[in-house]
Structure 1
Amino acid sequence: MDWRDVIDELDAGVERIAATLEGLPPDDLRGASGLPGWSRGHVATHIARNADSLWNLLEGARTGTEIPQYPSLERRDADIAAGAGRSRDELVADVRATQARFSEQARSLPASAAEAPVRAMAGWPHPAWYTVFRRWNEVEAHHADLAAGYGPADWPEPYVRWSAAATLADLAALPGRLLGEPAGLRITATDSGETADLGWAPGGPEASGSGRALLGWLSGRSDGAGVHLRPDGPLPVPPPWPYPRPACRASRRSRARSPRTRRRPRPPPSRRRRSSRSTHRGRATSSFLLAKGGARTETPTLARHGARRNIIVPLSGNRRAENPLRRLPAQGSLIARHPHGPCEGGPRRWKGGTGDDPMSPRTHRTPAPTRRPDAPLTPGVPSAPREGAAPFLSPACEGRLP
């Protein structure tokens, strides 16, 4: 059914509500309605304020600005309570005027604005045109809530056909955690053949009835008269009605980004590329003695964790220096003072090079010095070599002395 055709159905439904209110004695408007805690005056005021709230959604779609359906839930309840005590004529005039205002807004809504997304008070989005169908549910269901002789048996046939089919489809799409007591049930409309499987398995319970009877039961507007349950037993209490549309719930979860702002998905841990550098970046100070001038230079280096240990080379005076891993000097010799004698060599050997390119990505690997049997176990504490022993040479300096 086209949504523009529903506007005429709304106008006719509100006229039936106005006729019902006008047929009640003034004191009966203070009587209890079909909704717990609300009088008939509360229900009539809610019908009028609902038209205003849905008008807000259509106005937001027309102007391109997001206008909430209600300023807040507290404001909604306060407005209903404030208008519930009005006279019969005031209530009737309010119901008619707000519906006329809503109908005018809906009829003049451009086609482009009809597809604009708006958001229900419960938070789920939907196209602006679906606001008309939401209003249809409000008008027919709350007319029955007046408890003044109008019920599901009096609902117009076009409304029953649409709302029964939409209710079964939306109920079947609800997550299992929201189904409540009907979980595991199959519901079948005997006149249309439409079904809703709520996690049903062969041999499970089934409920069947006409679309009108099922709609009255699922909407909470009847006790389930005309609905048959197999095996026999009490009908389960359905979840709160109406239910959000499946497409609307899906659009709320997806929230797709535009191609320019969409984030690239992060690969799984097994396929992530490991960085050659550690995630923890520290700054260590390395001491160098350059051949030219013998000056000592302080150079920051990257502390690498998990690759290999830094070699600690003791200097004279028990001063310790951390062996560099990157950015060694491009030219000149490196003199390192070992506990058993100095060694001097030419350009350091780089893996894959001769040392002329210190910025090469290939990592320089300095072999660990070999400890003599009589060398102390504690680095940095020199011990005197044995008498007559040959000077100790590190493997990196072998063959380089004159």
Structure 2
Amino acid sequence: MAATAFLHPFTRPSADGFLTIMRGEGATVWDAHGRSYVDGMASLWYCNIGHGRGEIADAVATQMRQLAGYHTFERFTNEPTEQLCERLAARAPVAGSRVFLTSSGSEAVETAVKLARFSHHLAGDPARTVVISRRPSYHGVAYAGTTLTGLPLNQAGFGPLLPDVCQVPRGDLEAAAAAFAANPGRVAAVIAEPVIGAGGVYPPEPGELAGLRALCDQHGALLILDEVITGFGRLGHWWGADRYGVTPDLTVFAKAVTSGYQPLGGVLVTPRVLAPFAADPDAVLRTGHTYSGHPAASAAALVNLDVLEDEGLLDRAVHVGRRLADGLSRLIDGERIVEVRGDGAVRAVGLGPGVDAPQVREHMLAAGVIARPIGAGTIAFSPPLVITDAQVDRLVQSLADAVARPAVPVVTR
């Protein structure tokens, strides 16, 4: 089958044989042949409230009939966006935060870096342009995020990347301290995922996030938490910052703010970051996006937040995570499955030598289960928080069956 006109992301341009997903309900999706799959990844880490929520579709349709879209530059705004930002600010890790909206996590990371640098600039410290990130990590695909991402293959071939970025190994506070020492008075911010997601599903080492916070405080830098995956209940809390008891200066979010029903992201900006703006009433924030504060996206997010709250899905995440972790841990045999890692309702298994993650994924697809291979040696799970216990158990059993099989069936449309 020839490649289609759609040039797929993170895929060989010559690839064909794609799996066409037609519909979804709860933690189940169906393909064009009517085959059902347990969605063990909530699509791409984001569909926390599950698929097929008619109440979100209705809210978006109602909003689009009234006002489909209008920009929010300068003097313009709209009611759903103002309501959403009030609710997000009320849930923010730091009181008094304001909300800058984007259309994606990648845009939000770019914005957080720009805000960190610009805040220092307005404070009379324009030399602070260095941003420290960790390896491995994932921070999106725009140029700042690509540079900050601690996955070399994601950077290869794209030419010169963003200057003044320094990467250190995850969990290595001594290396982070050395990066500060090597750039005295020049570090604008440190960026970190509370749980590293697409880099392999690694929770922080004990004291790691608190240590990064302390280094930022010691050296006058800002702490950016990239909560694109961990925000909105994935770890059993609204934020990874709450889960780990660390205070960020900037919080990046996207994905589960709408559970993927509309594209939306943003940055929670604390009073500390905003203080230099307040001190200069003539300062203009010359950044933003055509769809920042899109009313239909905001309408979707408002209903999504209602569902997370009304159905107790943050508590459900804790239960799902424990059941999934317990089941996966029972599969550890030191040969095919060698470790289980993660936190809350985001988990991964480390595969043994010779067990190929993409092949395991194909076996699981053939059995009606969707998981995500990361590199050659990791299978990740991040299911909708509405997943049933029986479906969680099916994820585990499917993995157990898959690692025991040699042949690789390929499920296509």
TM-score by length of 1: 0.23
Q: Which has the higher contact order (CA 8 A, sep 6+)?
A: 2
Structure ranking higher in strand proportion = 2
Larger C-alpha radius of gyration, 1 or 2? Answer: 1
TM-score by length of 2: 0.23
